[in-house]
Amino acid sequence: MTNILLIIFAITLLYFSIANRLMTYLSILSFQGVLLMLVALLELHDMNVLNFAFIILETLIVKAIVLPLFIRYVIKKNKIKREAEPFVPYFVSLLVTTMIIVLTFVLSNLIEAVHLNKIYFVTALSALFCGLFLIVTRKKIITHVICYVLIENGVFILSLAVGNEMPLLVNLGVLLDVFVSVFLLGIFINKVGNVINDGDVNQLSSLKD
């Protein structure tokens, strides 16, 4: 069952690459949060109750609800256009995303490690590299924030591979990292929105003190 959930997560990366609206990105992030919650629920059965409850709340409330709603608020507040506006065609994005997933699968088969859970490794690295690719190929600053959350989801999946030994402090560090980064970038977008239109990264070069 866990493998099926992770495969579905990988499929959402393909959908991410061809989505043309920001609200679709946020819907995918919410769905990924639910998937991560289900994976944690199935995988972390040996963890103590406090850590287990924290991870479930982190994935369901923060990843699936709070972060998407906050980013949606930033989009509406700054009247950002809902289109993603990529630098490359959607077919190219789909092709590159597919290649990333295939290459990470090949890489996992080349690594000889007894304790390496390959499905977690493939899904996590795919999310990481797809997030980086989407950051490079999307124009809007808000899209970069969304893709950062996608990258963090990949890091979280990798941590679930050893989740039964993952201390609460690591979870707090990951959660704090997400909050600080997204809120700082949200404040940045709010300020930039007063100077440039629609949060296009191409206009950042025109900003002056």
> What does the pLDDT look like over 138-167, one tens digit per residue?
877 788 888 888 888 888 887 776 655 555
Model confidence pLDDT, tens digit, residues 186-208? 666 666 555 545 555 555 455 45
What is the pTM (predicted TM-score) of this model?
A: 0.81
Listed by start position, the domains of the chain span 2-193
Residue 21, CA atoms < 13 Å, CB-side half-sphere: 5
Nearest Cα to 82, choosing from 141, 23, 25?
A: 23
**Six-digit token pair at 44?**
């972390």
pLDDT band at 50 (very low <50, low <70, confident <90, very high): confident
**How high is the pLDDT of residue 9?**
93
**How high is the pLDDT of residue 170?**
58
- Give the residue, 31 or 64, on which the prediction is more confident: 31
| Mean pLDDT calculated for residue range 177-187 | 66
Number of C-beta neighbours around residue 50 at 10 A: 9
**How high is the pLDDT of residue 209?**
47
- Give the residue, 167 or 50, on which the prediction is more confident: 50
Burial class (CB in 10 A: 0-12, 13-18, 19+), 183: middle
Handedness of CA 63, 69, 188, 81 (dihedral sign): positive
User: Any bridge partners for residue 83, and if so which?
Assistant: 21
